[in-house]
Structure 1
Amino acid sequence: MSPDDPRSDGGDAAVDPGGDASPPTFEPLSVDAAGDLIEDVVDNVERVIVGKREAVEHIVVAVLAGGHVLLEDVPGTGKTMLARSVATSVDASFRRVQFTPDLLPADVTGVNVYNQKTQEFEFQPGPVFANVVLADEINRAPPKTQSALLEAMEERQVTVDGDTRPLPEPFAVIATQNDVETGRTYELPMAEIDRFAKKLRLGYPESDQEAEIIGRTAGHHPIEELAPVTDGHALRRARETVAEVRLGEPVRNYISRLAEYTRNHAQLGVSPRGSIALARTAQVRALLAGREYVTPDDVQAEAPTVLSHRIRPRTGSETGDDVVSAALSSVAVE
């Protein structure tokens, strides 16, 4: 294997919750190797998920951009299976949290437990201490439990009883929520929604795709045989490659003008966090195209999934998608 082959590196173990938070240095992959890594993960996930390549790409783009993903749709469309498949494709630590009305914040972050033998409190890390965390049906838990992820998603750390502990890197949250049974769920606060780099909907498959899904799962489910195609170490090297993709001043100004348009044409527009997420995901999109620089086309490809969920329109007849579509049509590329 060549030094730039992302499969030539060993995986990263999860960080000790009480360990050193100083980040190690990683050698970036070449642009081609980073693009191959993305393609390998997407192709691997498609062994399980049929007909959703675009959605899979969006998830991998968000993870490489250092972001998190919210999957929203009706039950049974494959949200959880898609998240599991992406996590399984990367040889890194993975934990799943099933959000329920009785779930407590400590069930997510961890808790200090008194050890009678040592007569000291010991920290028992929660499932958030993993490289990939699946927050399944996140809107079924009350706001207090949902807020347990706020610090983790933004600052990559968890504070319990006054002690702050770093989370492992890479760290990504893939959350799912159903958009039915609203009377039995809790709406996510805007502060949490804004922490998701992307919000995606899968939709129902086409009839031929559904027939293929039935055929694949008639015996053993393909997720049972899915093997990793990369690891956490290679993922961090790819992130270093993303960081080196050039984001010229004209593109930065274009992103800023798009965000400004949403603020002027909606009750709540895109935050600076949203603009940063758009810039980072556009850098990954450029890698997918084999380029070392971002173009307005990359920005336009990422804008709908990155910006729409952060917008609160002025009228009930309008959606965040409508505002973003109008911004892309109205804001000139200079």
Structure 2
Amino acid sequence: MSEPLMPQHDPPIALTMGDPAGIGPEITLKCWLQRNQATCPPFLFLGSAELLETCARSLEVEVPIHRLQEPVQARDVFPDALPVLDLPLPAPCRPGVPDSRNAPMVIRSIDLAYDLVRTGQASALVTNPIHKNSLYSSGFSQPGHTEYLAQLCGLDFRPVMMLASERLRVVPVTVHVPLREIPSRLTREGIVHAAEITYLALQRDFDIPAPRLAMAGLNPHAGEAGSMGREEIDLLLPAVRDLQAKGMPIDEPRAADSLFHETARGRYDAVLCMYHDQALIPIKTLDFDKAVNVTLGLPVVRTSPDHGTAFNIAGQNQANPSSLRAALDLAARMARARTADIHSS
């Protein structure tokens, strides 16, 4: 697999369509309407132009849609119109009602966006939310975007998910796992892998030369010296020793209930959490509308808004674009940091 080309000028961000029946079209339009804000870099939508036009009419907003012939035109078009590489939908779209007949174009949007970033025609990949059950009939066999992109990239290791905002960065070591299964799913190797990927990403993509990592204990009070569980002693501490031996500044596991207050957050750049809710509850409490899902370890930059398709409010002009705008902004900053890192090497 060839490395991404590094163009001299920042190309636009490739924004996927996501599920056309979800809130993706609405928040895409709203982000373009906020294009003059500093946190909204130029982007190129890969999906149905007709879908956006229909959505704009229903929202009663003026958003000119410009169908592009070539991605290179996107930056020039963006100030005056929303640039689109048109992927017509096979079936009519009804907001809030997913239709598996449109799945091939949803998948095609991801494939094309990845290819644009890989070849340097786009600087980063931002994905609108998908509905996985609608995609399975079209050959989408992965649990989600992260695994599918890892497959496209030809990776032989598992990427790592980070949730990031201006106030906190968290990395769940296990993700969509039932609570009762977490102790059996945690491994020393898995913890070390997540920490190493996170450390390198903080250096390369977040421009933090010497990242500081924290680790949340699995059990109350981080196990209380084994009286409330031995996972800290048997798994987490050995993983910390492995990481320290590799020169990474990381302390022994801390009680999760005291890791996320303001003073504690000033002591680290990211915290490794042992399970999904341990990571997502604090960041969504602190910054619900602006948290961003970031995939670490890919050869391309990929971010996503930290919410789903929200079928229940699709087409009702209730969707908040803040998380998508934050995802676009973070993707642009990560891409610039990665380019600067390559040029300085």
Q: TM-score, normalised by structure 2?
A: 0.27
Q: TM-score, normalised by structure 1?
A: 0.28
